[in-house]
Chain A
Amino acid sequence: MSSTKSDIKQYQDLLKQYLDTKDEVVLYQAEQLSKEIKQDVSPDEIIDEHYNTLLKLIPDMDSQIKDSFEFLIQTMTSYALAYKEYHELRTKQLELKAEIEVAANMQNTLLSTSIPQVDGLDIGATSIPAKLMNGDYYHFVQDDEGNVGVAIADVIGKGIPAAFFMSMIKYAMESFPENRMYPKVILELLNRVVERNVESGMFVTMFYGLYDVQRQLFYYATAGHEPGFIYRAQEDQFKEIDAKGLLLGVKKEVKYNQYVDEIHDGDLIVLLTDGVTECRSGDRFIEREEVLDVIKENKHLPAQDIVDNVYKYLERLQNFTLRDDFTLIVMKRSS
């Protein structure tokens, strides 16, 4: 608790000036001084300085007033301590934040995936965390025949535990062989990994899809994940992807159903997490239809632009504060 001597000296000078002049300029200077000294001078020291200056200016000060200053200084001691502690806790908090930022960057590196370049299939994807660490995840793989595997997942829970969890899922998926693997098999394998390695109470939802580029078929299975949509160009409407399956990690041996849809020219496959569909604007929940309308309005654009535009639209609607992690993938067939 050391004070800066020059600040204290300035306090004395300003106090004298003010008592002589009652000038607002001096009060303004005092305000500026208080901004500078707040870092290393504690409140009890300022009172002490005030008291000592007054003693010089008013040599015959009433003894009761003197005693009252002693009393005030004692009262401010604990306040000063608390102030100092706040200050140090704040420093620690900034350090922690910096550390989490490093972890978040590391997570980005660990979980990075590149969007496959495929003739006739235009893919756009984005994932934006609400806080520093992302509890959503998407991943693309291409098998040796060029078919595109896509995973989108959401850990129940946010922040650092969710991020750890996702790294595990990613490395489990990386260990799978490179040849064609169907969605149901992948979910069944992942379920075993999650169930074995994670304590109860942590779950993950995942949708896994496999796009057959030769036959234009989309195979998929879901582990309790937010349903996506297929936009049918011919009918100009969205159809909810109707699939069911248990969340990963709930039960040991789970069998997943697998579904398949034909994808036609101009169709869009829309995969998302609940951060997209459950976002709120004030007290109002944004309807899923509203999200789909934005996608429809943008459907002529490249897939990445569709995804980016939806994000921008919802970000603005939520006053630029995301409440949940946001992940959206659009796959667009174009011949």
Chain B
Amino acid sequence: MKGALTTVPIIKELDIVGARQSGRNLARDLGFGSVDQARIATAISELARNIYLYAGSGEISFQEVQGASPVGLKIVASDHGPGIENVSKVMEDGYSTSGGLGAGLPGVKRLMDEFDIISDDNGTKIIVVKWLR
């Protein structure tokens, strides 16, 4: 396991774009192709938007990880917002509050290979990994 590559604070809406850009650059450097880069960027958008809309502020950090597949990109989105009351509910298809099919956390889960949420009164941490194939 390699260490943290970078961390992007999410405070204002434009920070979402900064997080996307960082994530995309790292993904490209690790060897991900166009489709996976776009998927990773989309997942980062969703995670960062959730922070911006529901927690006010937080951060997205990136790590290079090694495992079954030679290399992967791990993204951790964390905030100190109110937390998600019912995680199973927000993971249901069609539940998304940001509108439309395919959006929201179920979409993030589909875009990535690994997905985990820890949420309580002190905030939310979402950890996702995309493996290079």
| Residue ranges of A at the interface with B (Cβ–Cβ < 8 Å) | 1, 44-45, 48, 51, 69-70, 73-74, 76-86, 88-89, 92
Contacts of A79 in B (CB 8 A): 102
| In the bound complex, CA of A226 to CA of B107 (Å) | 51
B 100-122 contacts with A by CB, 8 A: 100-103, 106-107, 110-111
Given A48-B33, A81-B110, A85-B94, CB of A74 within 8 Å of CB of B38: yes
| In the bound complex, CA of A163 to CA of B42 (Å) | 45
> Do A77 and B34 touch (CB < 8 A)?
no
> Do B93 and A48 touch (CB < 8 A)?
no
> Do A82 and B100 touch (CB < 8 A)?
yes
Q: Is B80 interfacial (CB-CB < 8 Å)?
A: no
Q: Which are the 8 A-B pairs with shortest beta-carbon distances?
A: A82-B102, A81-B102, A82-B101, A74-B38, A48-B35, A77-B42, A77-B38, A81-B107
> Do A45 and B110 touch (CB < 8 A)?
no
Q: In angstroms, how far is the closest chain A Cβ from the Cβ of B19?
A: 15
Contacts of A77 in B (CB 8 A): 35, 38-39, 41-42, 111
The number of residue pairs between A and B whose CB atoms lie closer than 8 Å in the complex comes to 59
> Do A45 and B35 touch (CB < 8 A)?
yes
Considering only CB atoms and an 8 Å cut-off, how many residues of chain B contact the other chain? Answer: 17
> In the complex, which residue of chain A has the Cβ closest to the Cβ of B112?
A1
Where chain B touches its partner, the secondary structure class is helix
Q: In angstroms, how far is the closest chain A Cβ from the Cβ of B13?
A: 18
| In the bound complex, CA of A139 to CA of B103 (Å) | 50
| In the bound complex, CA of A92 to CA of B111 (Å) | 20
> Do B93 and A89 touch (CB < 8 A)?
yes
> Do B38 and A85 touch (CB < 8 A)?
no
The 23 listed contacts between A and B (C-beta, < 8 Å) are A45-B35, A48-B34, A51-B34, A70-B34, A74-B41, A74-B42, A76-B38, A77-B35, A77-B38, A77-B41, A77-B42, A78-B102, A82-B100, A82-B101, A82-B102, A84-B110, A85-B102, A85-B107, A86-B101, A88-B93, A89-B94, A89-B101, A92-B93
| In the bound complex, CA of A44 to CA of B93 (Å) | 21
| In the bound complex, CA of A76 to CA of B107 (Å) | 13
> Do B101 and A44 touch (CB < 8 A)?
no
Interface string of B62-98 (1 = CB under 8 A from A): 0000000000000000000000000000000110000
Contacts of B41 in A (CB 8 A): 74, 77
Q: In angstroms, how far is the closest chain B Cβ from the Cβ of A2?
A: 9
